[in-house]
Amino acid sequence: MGRAKQFNLLMVRDDGSRVLRLSVSGWAVAMAVGGLAVTVLGLAYIYPDYVSLRHQRATFAALSARLQTQQGMLDPSQSRMREIRTEIDSWRDLHAKIWEPFGPEAASRRGTGVGGGAAASTADDRAPVKEEMDRLLGIVRDEGESIRSLERFLGRASRVLATLPSRWPVRGPVNSDFGERRSPWAPNSEFHSGIDIGAAIGTPVKAPAPGVVVFAGQHPEYGVTLIIEHGNDTKSLYGHLSKLNVQVDQQIRRGEIVAYTGNTGRSSGPHLHYEIQVKGQPVNPHSYIWEDPGPAVAKSASR
């Protein structure tokens, strides 16, 4: 075998004097060169991944900041959606109250509404925003259909409601109410078919609803009396008047002055006897009057 090659590394100063001489075997130089080549190749191989990783890290940092911003917007949005659910719940309760007087068949026309208790609300809070918004949109559509159904129903009923005697003909204390009472003319009790509203003589009496005058004249008990037909077998009677302002067969508008209060007929003092009849039978006028009666006034004993 030949002698192994060696490489000499000689370091010389500027003045020509030798400072250091280093002998390196050939295999060591080969190993060093090979290692350097492997290192360069390795770096060349992983460099694209390094560049990609740095880019992904920068992208992740940007996405993280954006996520925090969106989370800051999402939390108030979820809070607002909870408020919306609460508001829609109140719609459902309101619809129930509106439909209740018309019976269970009418109530079944309502939308499905919102509900489900606390567990459902907690689950909703964890639901994706889009899913929750889609759910709320569906509920709002159902409630909207319920409102439109109510609008159609009231539209059909409005013609009947408009004819009801729903206002006070005069304002004053109710001195004697509808029903059994002590008779002002005898020691025993009697049935009072209307309400007596205290008012000074000459107070204008206004029609509580549109209609047609069917009687305007003297009555043996109520003195000067007026009766208005409102349709749907409903009439209103006004007794103890001092003066009439309308005549038989005259069309009457709501709020029109039809007479003036007085003290005619069997009366113990100036007042208006106001009566509502349905199919010829007296009914409690308070069931028809929708207006606020105003401050409560103590009853007196006049008729």
Percent of the chain residues topping a pLDDT of 70: 75
In angstroms, the CA 146 to CA 13 distance is 102
Exposed, middle or buried by CB within 10 Å (0-12, 13-18, 19+), for 241? Answer: buried
Average pLDDT over residues 112-116: 42
In angstroms, the CA 208 to CA 201 distance is 19
pTM listed for this prediction: 0.53
On the question of pLDDT at 109 being above 80, the answer is no
Under the banding of pLDDT at 50, 70 and 90, the label for residue 17 is low
pLDDT in tens, 45-72: 777 877 788 778 778 777 777 777 766 6
pLDDT in tens, 137-154: 777 777 777 778 777 777
pLDDT in tens, 20-54: 666 767 677 678 777 787 787 877 777 787 778 87
